[in-house]
Amino acid sequence: MIDTWAQIGYLISAVCFIVALKALSSPKSARRGNLLGAAGAVLAVIITFVAYKPDHLAAILVALVIGTIAGVVGSRRVQMTHMPQLVALFNGVGGGAAALVALMELGEVRDGETIAAIATAFTIVVGAISFSGSVVTFAKLQELMTSRPVTFPGLPVLFVAGTLGGVALSVWLVTDPRVWVGVLLCLVGLALGVMLVLPVGGADVPIVISLLNAFTGLTVAAGGYVLGNALLLIAGTLVGAAGTLLTKLMADAMGRSVFNILFGAVKGGSTLGGGVASERPVISGTATDVAILLGYAQRVVIVPGYGLAVAQAQHTLRDLVEELQGRGVKVDYAIHPVAGRMPGHMNVLLAEAQVPYEQLREMDEINGDFKSTDVVLVVGANDVVNPAARNTPSAPIYGMPILNADEAQRVIFLKRSMRPGFAGIENELLYDPKTTLLFGDARESLTKLLAAVKNI
């Protein structure tokens, strides 16, 4: 009877996860979806404790306390600029945990249980790939190592050899489930994860995070099968499917295939440009110059990017927009699918500043409006408005759909310096005669702009 009630409780938790995922599809309901998903997870943990009375209770409770403290501290201290790194770490921990659970369950796999052995081998190797690969993506985004593609002679051969070795060890583990074989398979998976992510550079790193997230979901689902836990099976399948779809959508937004993103540098191409600042002359202006352009415009479009997040300037930007709207200027925000360092980064950042969701317009929706736009204000973005994506076949971002900012009457860039964007290539729009640059920290520049607009 207890087991029946436990399964009903797990079913309720699973429904919470499904409804939460649906709610996360819109910024309006995302907060509610997050709370619902967390409630489902808490319910599942309580059910497990009450119904099944796990062994080693003291150690489990200590781990729960440590994890809770780390989660609370992390969520409160980590800035929005570092959120992609946090997501990468959390994802890696999930994959590593799944691999460790599968290793511990090896002793329970009996001869003849082929499906369980296959699921266990899959969980070990893919979970290890997800863990080590996520650690490398964290290091790239945190600038603990270069964000440029890292390759070396023999990498393709080594990667193929590791893949074949992983397959061979997996077959061995299925036919003879020994713990030491599982440990070897885990080590091979860790090496494969590192080799998979090292050649990825530039703006492609967030796409790899999404792919590794899908890997983690699949390992959790496989682990649910091994443990006979339907809730893990459902939750892992949800994460795996969502991560896979997101990876495909992001790759499409970059105009490239997932295979090219992962192995383009290995084949001799590159997902990152030179990264050298140009000394070509540009037109720069003062805050007053830019304020006059904005204050007397009829239509203004804001293009936010990672620089806005770094400067924590979203609140000042909102104040500037409200001031312009008070003067009768029509203002919208143009959101590129991969602006920032993760999907939805700009949406969350602007929602934090209480920017109305109705003002946030996606790329496909707003691209046709740039021709009738008086001024485009680019705040901390670069690659998502770079015409090289359309005009320069040799550019690393060629084929990536971009915001058509170059079609507007005037363009204003708020930039700290002339350094290229994350893709490491020059933006020809910076040298266009209709473009004005306002140099400085984004928050300081926006503060000066706000004061100047008020004085017009």
- Note the pLDDT tens digit of each residue in 391-437: 888 777 777 888 999 999 999 999 887 777 666 678 889 999 999 99
Contacts of 60 (CB under 8 A, 6+ apart): 54
Supply the pLDDT for residue 228: 82
- Note the pLDDT tens digit of each residue in 145-156: 876 778 888 888
Angstrom distance (rounded) from CA 37 to CA 238: 12
Q: What's the CA angle centered on 200, arms 389 and 305, to 5 degrees?
A: 50
Catalytically annotated residue among 383, 406, 432, 441: 383
Q: Which of 215-219, 232-236, 324-328, 380-384 has the lowest mean pLDDT?
A: 380-384
- Note the pLDDT tens digit of each residue in 95-104: 999 999 999 8
Angstrom distance (rounded) from CA 343 to CA 251: 11
Is the overall model pTM greater than 0.95, yes or no?
no
Torsion of CA 182, 184, 190, 191, to 10 degrees: -150
pLDDT of 198 > 50? The answer is yes
- Note the pLDDT tens digit of each residue in 18-75: 999 999 877 778 889 999 999 999 999 999 888 888 888 889 999 999 988 988 888 8
383 is catalytic: yes
